[in-house]
Structure 1
Amino acid sequence: MSSFKDVVGHKNIIKYISSAVQADAVSHAYILNGERGSGKRLLANLFAMSLQCQNRAEDGEACGKCQSCKQAQSGNQPDIIKVTHEKPNTISVDDIRTQVNNDIVIKPYSSKYKIYIIPEADLMSAQAQNALLKTIEEPPEYAVIMLLTENAEALLPTIRSRCVMMKLRNIKDQLVKKYLMEQMEIPDYKADVCVAFAQGNMGKAIMLATSEYFNEIKEEVVHLLRNIDEMNVSELMDAVKKCMTYKMEINDYLDMIAIWYRDVLIYKATKNVDRVVFSDQLRYIKARASKSSYEGIENILDAIEKAKARLKANVNFELTMELLLLTIKEN
């Protein structure tokens, strides 16, 4: 685990956390809100480690060497609890009662605080949120709860109003590129492509830079979107079946389709080629911009977001992708 000094971006959040730790003015509940790969877990883990550190620096930074820090780095700090859930798309009321409510009444084993980190907090059922709300309203003085979420709006307003909200913003492209090239030794041209697709998301940029599937997915998306106009129903169904190959990386696949159509939208509106991510496909981007209406492009971008939501809700994969490709073809 790195230190706050090693985190790229999020300086305002780090400054806030450091000040809270230094001043011993820690809230009982926080929401870290940001898209997948934005650094929520890293910041929560570093925050927790700093709070529990036995030899903390004056600036609030954890020492990284004491027993508590070593335990935190290995995932074995007894007073830092990571809440888990068995059901893939739901955090149940039993998960919250067992791992938080029934446990939080027990005092910390060896630290000043008892910290609960709840990843994917937006997956909590209404009952689970209501159960947690009672604890957030009347927590023990040693308790700190961190809710990590991609969609804070999915949390009850009563929970949001009782938590300190920390929104993770996109990181500047030049900082992401610098990290990829200097820390990961990614060549210049590949770093440019990863940065363009990551859209300010460091976790995604790192994942793309190390993914053996990235170029393959990109080529598949380009082939599909260049030829979808001429595809008949049978060929469209074959394309849907081919999407199954990328089922585990389907969000990246859908993001690439979205970036293609954002390129089309940007070029159609501005004729500015400098902002086009698929710069090597400019001829096809221009052709699509001249064929599709603004409304048609917006319909496609909306359909991509709906497809993501349906897949997250476990709607049939082939049916979801079929509806999306038909929408793209029609617009």
Structure 2
Amino acid sequence: MASFKDVIGHNRIIEYIQTVTIQDRVSHAYILSGEKGSGKKLLAGLFATVLVCEKGGAEPCNVCHSCRQAESGAHPDIFYVKGEKPGVLGVEDIRKQINDTIRIKPYQSRWKVYIVDGAEKMTVQAQNALLKTMEEPPEYAVILLLTENYELLLPTITSRCVMLKLRHLRDTLIRKYLMEVMEVPDYKADLCTAFAQGNLGRAILLANSERFHELREEAIRLLKQFPDMTMEEMIAALKQIREYKLEIEDYLDIIMVWYRDVLLYKATKEIDQVVFREQIKYIREQARKSSYEGIEEILNALERAKARLKANVNFELVMELLFLTMKEN
């Protein structure tokens, strides 16, 4: 069974939850804000469990009947609010699952906890319906709003909530977890950590993804050959990349890490912080041929390409412009 000791990082939030629980200063509404994979669901579940735990204290005991029910998702006083339609939480979802039940006292615990995952998906009408409940909540009610973008919530909602923002984790913590807990090889842990950008959930997904390994190998093959490619070979490479169109952001991120390695090696001549250390021969040669300005231009072009693709600019045009910039620099 899970406990706060199982959470990697987020010590500030854990200390806050434990403090308000022990000191009986629990608020009626919280926003847990962080990107996908940051640990919102785990923290919310632990918060709910410690509130209903029969023994009380700063950690769920994981022994009592309530803790076992919470672990199995069957606790009668913990509610997971879901939308009937995918991608949206409508006004009827909020009314039926929160408003119509919140006045009924807890079945067996002191607290009645509602966990709303993807709270940013609530329509304006749904948020206004929830607001009516939040204005005068029952003394036993706790509402946990989990969101990747709290700015999509109405100010009248956020002003009534305690904001708990999940920050990015340090790379050292993520790398340690991948290597010690998941037993990922160091070279793979370095790459997944670099891509995760402080998000442990994403690092775990990447470490378990065979598709990501395939993307990595294909991108490296391209980058090693790219300096000597003819125009015809570049056009052929562009056609090959279409196969990875759905994962193009990850593909471009791999290329970005490569050029950051080139920039780092050019500046320091050291390989300790280079992610693609096993390709140091090619990294060193690229660093020798490219100027600082040229590498920076490629990195900027990669950012522009990602932004244009998100804006649905023509895929082939975006990639052609990127390849030309890479070739020129």
C-alpha spacing 1:181/1:274, structure 2 compared with 1 (3 Å): closer
Residue equivalent to 2:141: 143
Which among 182, 185, 188 is matched to residue 184 of structure 1?
Answer: 182
Residue equivalent to 2:306: 304
Which among 103, 128, 142 is matched to residue 105 of structure 1?
Answer: 103
Residue equivalent to 1:15: 15
Aligned equivalents of 1:295 and 1:40: distance in 2?
Answer: 36
**Number of aligned residues:** 318
8 Å CA contact retained: 1:176, 1:202: yes
Cα root mean square deviation, aligned:
3.2
- Which residue type is aligned with residue 325 of structure 1? M
- Which residue type is aligned with residue 205 of structure 1? A
- Which residue type is aligned with residue 29 of structure 1? A
Residue equivalent to 1:167: 165
Aligned equivalents of 1:284 and 1:151: distance in 2?
Answer: 42
In the TM superposition, residue 265 of structure 1 has moved relative to its aligned partner by: 7.1
- Which residue type is aligned with residue 75 of structure 2? Q
Q: Mapping of 1:28-177 within 5 angstroms? A: 28-57=28-57, 60-177=58-175
C-alpha spacing 1:166/1:323, structure 2 compared with 1 (3 Å): farther
Q: Mapping of 1:238-277 within 5 angstroms? A: 238-239=239-240, 241-244=242-245, 247=246, 252-253=250-251, 255-257=253-255, 259-260=257-258, 275-277=273-275
Aligned equivalents of 1:122 and 1:214: distance in 2?
Answer: 29
In the TM superposition, residue 37 of structure 1 has moved relative to its aligned partner by: 1.1
| Structure 1 residues without counterparts, runs of 5 or longer | none
Aligned equivalents of 1:260 and 1:163: distance in 2?
Answer: 42
Q: Mapping of 1:282-301 within 5 angstroms? A: 282-283=283-284, 286=287, 292=294, 294=296, 297-298=299-300, 300-301=302-303
In the TM superposition, residue 63 of structure 1 has moved relative to its aligned partner by: 0.3
SS of aligned partner of 2:210: coil
SS of aligned partner of 1:301: helix
TM-score scaled by structure 2?
0.82
- Identity %, equivalent residues: 53
8 Å CA contact retained: 2:110, 2:140: yes
Aligned equivalents of 2:107 and 2:292: distance in 1?
Answer: 66
Q: C-alpha deviations, 1:185-234, integer Å up to 9, x for none?
A: 22333322222222222112222222222211212334456649866696
| Structure 2 residues without counterparts, runs of 5 or longer | none
Aligned equivalents of 2:157 and 2:96: distance in 1?
Answer: 19
- Which residue type is aligned with residue 243 of structure 1? Y
C-alpha spacing 1:158/1:273, structure 2 compared with 1 (3 Å): farther
C-alpha spacing 1:272/1:181, structure 2 compared with 1 (3 Å): closer
- Which residue type is aligned with residue 145 of structure 2? L
Which is further off, 226-235 or 19-28? 226-235
